[in-house]
Structure formats: C-alpha cells, structure tokens
Chains A and B, each alone.
Chain A
Amino acid sequence: MAGSPADTFVTEADLARCIAQSVPGRATEAETTLYRRYAPRVRLFGLRHLRDAQAAADFMQQVMLVTIDQLRRGRLRDPDKLGSFIFGVCRAIMLELRRGGARRKRILEQYQSDLAAIEPVEPAALDGDRVTRCLQDLPERERAVLVMTFYEEKPAHEVAAILGLTPGNVRVIRHRGLMRLRQCIAGSEAVP
C-alpha cells in the first residue's frame, strides 16, 4: 500500500535535501509536501501581521515560492534548520511588502505556475448554526465581550475603554467566554 507523499520524507531535513539535490522543478512530491506543511503556518503569520485574508494568501504564496526557489538553489546550509529558514523568509518578505519591493513580483512571475496545481490550504470553517447557538447560550457579559473583541479584533484595553471595565477584567471575561464557547462547539460539554 503506497503511503501519502508526506510519509516519504522522514524528517524536514530530508525534504530540504531532496529539493536541493534534485534537478530544479523535479522534486514535485517534496515541494508539495513542504507547501502543504508550511503554507498554513505562513498564512497565519501573514494574517497576524497584515489583518487581511487576501493579503495573507498572497503573502503565503510569495513566501512559499521564495522558499522553494532558495532551496532549489541550495541556499539552505543546514537542512535541519528548515523552519528557521522559512521564518527568515517570512520576515524578509514582510519587510519587503512594507517597502513595496520588486523582487517578489519577479519570483511570482517566474514560479507561480509551479504551485498553481497544489490545492490551496484553507482552514476548516466552523458550523455557523452551532456557533450561533453556543454564543446565544453564553452569559450576556461574556457574549458582549467576545463580540466587541473579535468583531474588530481589538485588544483588552480598547474593549475595556468602551465597556468601562479594567483590561484585566476584560481578559478574564474573554478567557472564560472563549473556553465555554470552545467546549460548546466541540460538543463535549454543555454551557453551564
């Protein structure tokens, strides 16, 4: 029984070596595995700093393209440090994005078709009806704090200012509300 492509590579260093030692563009399986493994993490990094889903998707694509380009060129000296290497690419691209750089445009034009066939990695959406029921079952104060926090993704001190509470109080209510919400959505425990 054949394993999935991901099973072929025992370690991340194996992945990096395979891409570096192959004829550029021929290590399709390794590059696909690398993409599926790291793209969701890179997308989260992008979302955290860009706060825009489309911009984060573009960022993810750019980081993965540059990473694969660099690996093909043998620029990763220590294959055991693949994660650190990708983080370095994330930081460099983010910096470049903020400066409006041109290198990413060239790389995108050169390699975009290589990754076009890989299915985009999207996080699974939650069941909207279940979330609605669980939110409705929360105590009023917790529901209000969660909505005011996550509607615009505001930190505790800003929510505290509009509610006349202390930031510490908002954090406590937020934490309690999120824990109840997670439990309810997971269905493991009814909201008390």
Chain B
Amino acid sequence: MKDSLCAAPIAFETLIEYWLGELPLPETERIDEHIVQCGQCAARLGEIVALSQAIRDVFRKGDILVILTPNFLERLISRGIQVRQYRCPLNGSVACTVTPEDELLVGRFEVPLAGVTRVDILSRRSCDDAEHRLSDIPFDAQSNEIVVAPSLARMQRLPSHDHFVRLVAVEGETERVLGEYTLHHTAHA
C-alpha cells in the first residue's frame, strides 16, 4: 500500500507558515487534518522540520558566521547560552580570545546607523592577509550596533593575530566609512 498522490497539495510556503504558527486558526485546523490524512504533504512538512532542526544544530555548534542583533543576542543569553562578547567602541580596538568552554563568540561594533540603508563589512586578518567582504548585512538601525558572531570552530583554530574590520554604508555606487576597528586576538593556550 503506497501513499496516493495528493489531490490538493499544500504549498511549501504555507507549510512553513503553518509550522511557525503564522496562520489563522481555521487554516491551521484545516492543515492539521490534512497532515494526518496525507502522507505526501506530511513528508514535505517533515522536510521543513528537519531543515529547522539542522539550522539550529549548526548554529548551536558555532560552525557558521552569523550577523545577529542586540535583541536576539539578549534572548540567547537569557536562555543560558555561554556567550563571550567583546564591545568595540567606534573606531576603537579591543583585546579578545576564545576558549573551549565558549558556546558563542560575539563582536559588538558601536556604529552610527541613522539614515543608513545598507551596510557591508570589510575585514582582514594579519595571519592570512586575505580581505573578506560581507555584503548587505542585516541590522537594526535603532540599535547603533552591529553584532557579528563568527564561526566559533574557525576562531578556535586560528593563531594569535590582529583582525581589522571596517563598516561601510553603501549608497548607490558610493561607499562611506562608518567605523574602523581592530581586534587583537590571542589564541587560547
């Protein structure tokens, strides 16, 4: 006995909205019933659940660089995540490190964001001298702060070095420097 083809498959986007609790109650109840009765749509919902779990797992392991916001960071801290954070004043520098006990490493860069619509991050490390650019990063303009969570796994492997960071506002074809920062990273002994 095989799953029969669904006569009225639920759109992937609608399944995401259902999973995240964005739909009104009648629509939620309709999909509740459909999921129990339809193996095909249940399998697609299962895919969303697996993706959601995988994204959480990757973030918790600190394997990826993510731009966060101060609000989201506060939520993580309130959930008991062991966060090592460094605040970098505008055009300033800070000494930093990372230890095996840390669950999240965060750089908080003070920057004036009023009227800014797009921010790019340019960075260079003294240990490899390669320049990197992160384009069109998300930010909350009201916070006047950019929060960067680098890959913890990568940071734990790097030797002591200086990390030069420049935040630029992109306006059409032109760029305006918002702030420049230096992080003096000492590798954990």
Contact = CB atoms under 8 A, between A and B. Distances in A.
Do A and B bind? Answer: yes
Interface of A: 6-12, 14-15, 33, 37-38, 40-42, 44-45, 47-48, 83-84, 86-87, 90-91, 123-126, 128, 131-132, 135-136, 139-141, 143-157, 161-165, 171, 174-175, 178, 181-182, 185
Interface string B56-69: 11110101111111
A44 B42 contact: yes
A123 B54 CA distance: 12
| Majority secondary structure of chain A interface residues (helix, strand, loop or mixed) | helix
B136 interface: yes
A147 B45 CA distance: 18
A144 B66 contact: yes
A124 B45 contact: no
Contact of A140 (B39, B45, B59, B137): B137
B1 A164 contact: no
Contacts, number: 155
A6 B3 CA distance: 11
Nearest to B147: A144
Interface of B: 1-2, 13, 16-22, 32-33, 35-39, 42, 45-47, 49-59, 61, 63-69, 71-72, 75, 134-142, 151
Contact of A83 (B37, B50, B66): B37
A141 B136 contact: yes
Nearest to A140: B137
A151 B37 contact: no
B52 A153 contact: yes
Contacts of A153: 19-21, 52
B55 A150 contact: yes
Contacts of A181: 51
B36 A141 contact: no
A44 B58 contact: no
Given A151-B55, A153-B20, A9 B1 contact: yes
Given A44-B46, A151-B55, 15 more contacts: A37-B39, A38-B36, A44-B49, A45-B32, A125-B54, A126-B50, A131-B55, A131-B57, A136-B64, A143-B66, A144-B138, A145-B138, A148-B68, A162-B72, A178-B16
B59 A151 contact: yes
Nearest to A181: B51
Nearest to B73: A162
Given A45-B32, A126-B50, A182-B51, A135 B64 contact: yes
Contacts of B2: 6
Contacts of B17: 171
B159 to A, nearest CB: 22
